[in-house]
Amino acid sequence: MSAQRPREIAVRILTQHARTGLFLDTLLERELAEQPLSAADRRLCQELVYGVVRWRATLDWLIARKTDNPPQPQKLQDILRIGLYQIFWLDRIPDHAAVHETVELAKRLGLTAQAGFVNAILRSYLREAPATRQLLQDLQITAPHLGWSHPEWLVRRWLDRWGPDRTRQLLHWNNTPARNYGRVNHLKTTTADILRRWRSEENVECDVFRRDWFDDELVYELRRHPPLAKMPSFQDGWFYVQDPSTLLAVWSLQVRPGQRILDTCAAPGGKTTYIAQLLRNQGRILARDNDPERLEMLRENCQRLGVTCAEIQPTDASLPDWARAGFDRVLVDAPCSNTGVLRRRVDLRWRLQGDDLQRMPATQLQLLRQTAPHVRLGGLLVYSTCSLEPEENEQVVRAFLQTVPGFALEHERILLPFVDGVDGAYVARLRRKA
């Protein structure tokens, strides 16, 4: 197969992403499913797509230094981004090969007239490579939003809150490829059995991952593995893929077998299926969501993981009879800006707008108010987000406590990537007293 093929596919995905606004993961998954690429070419295509989007602001800054005009037409801009990304971020591709392949890519994609322009810019940067690398390092200090490729308004917020050192740690974290973690599903297997299967049958290299908000031997970092969805142990429901930060909300629920639990924003099911695991399928879960496609994902995940205690329904459906007496535990995992998971959701940083942080808290507070009456006296209401922003976290909880009587804050915690080594998350546990 031509060495150009993964690069051509990468340009197509990037161009579609810019034109349609569809999520990058969706486009990448769809495109790669239709292409007969080798494993190495699939990895290269994914690396180019994610890398170019992740470092877009820095790449465009490099391009702008060599051009006097506004940004190039989309396809040409993406080709230049791919070439520069290979030169300055991918050590395994020789510089001369990166230039040659990028120039040939321009020709193959119908930009023969611009091939000389591409060649000139890339070769100019090759001649200045050491000085340019120093410029990029300096830029991370002098203009961190450009040096680390993040929206300027967001970086400014973080600098005001955490200062330059911790902000740079967070920016570095966000630009590091996310790791995969597997939560062992004890509804179907034991830790010993899945480790034996991973190592002897599926060629998985993994390390146990421990934190104080879940049991030991529950979560493993999957350092090397086949494609997750094709692993028999995954298909058999022996494990679920999720960042360890997502387990904090369920830990805060203090789940016990026999309880009735409401999960209000349940899809795609990571928290629901972990709740069922802690219940040992002895209890009842009402899992709700307002997105039909995500509800189907929730059903599939519950079935795959052997969850039998969950009833799944749309958010606007009537409560079943068994739930009308109230719930022992209620989880509101609210929609949010997702600023704690920018490492994992690569294109999200370019979708965020400053006014999202004025708009989202009203929705989050409304969710809490709507859900509060379903908590029985003495029961717990847990509010969680994957946001780092106080407007969506503690300020929402304070507004709720001020306007809804009968609840008291028992516990709250924020996970910060540069402190806890996991995605960002916020959790507050509230007990109904009256």
Task: Say what angle helices 394-403 and 356-371 make with each other, to 10 degrees.
Answer: 40
Structure tokens at 220: 């493993």
Instruction: Calculate ∠ Cα 78-84-88, nearest 5°.
Output: 145
Helix boundaries (H) for 34-151: 39-54, 56-66, 74-89, 95-108, 115-127, 129-142, 144-147
Inter-residue contact 383 to 330 (CB < 8 Å):
no
Catalytic residue (one of 302, 309, 336, 386): 386
66 is in an annotated binding site: no
Inter-residue contact 389 to 357 (CB < 8 Å):
yes
Instruction: Give residue for tokens 């459906």.
Output: 317
340 is in an annotated binding site: no
309 tagged catalytic: no
Structure tokens at 35: 């292409």
Q: Which residues does residue 310 pair with via DSSP β-bridges, in sequence order?
A: 285
269 is in an annotated binding site: yes
192 is in an annotated binding site: no
Omega before residue 268 within 30° of 0, cis: yes
206 is in an annotated binding site: no
265 is in an annotated binding site: yes
266 is in an annotated binding site: yes
Sheet containing 407-415: which strands, arranged edge to edge?
A: 310-314, 284-289, 260-263, 327-333, 375-385, 425-432, 407-415
107 is in an annotated binding site: no
Which residues form the catalytic set?
386
Annotated binding site: 265-271, 289, 316, 333
Annotated binding site for S-adenosyl-L-methionine: 265-271, 289, 316, 333
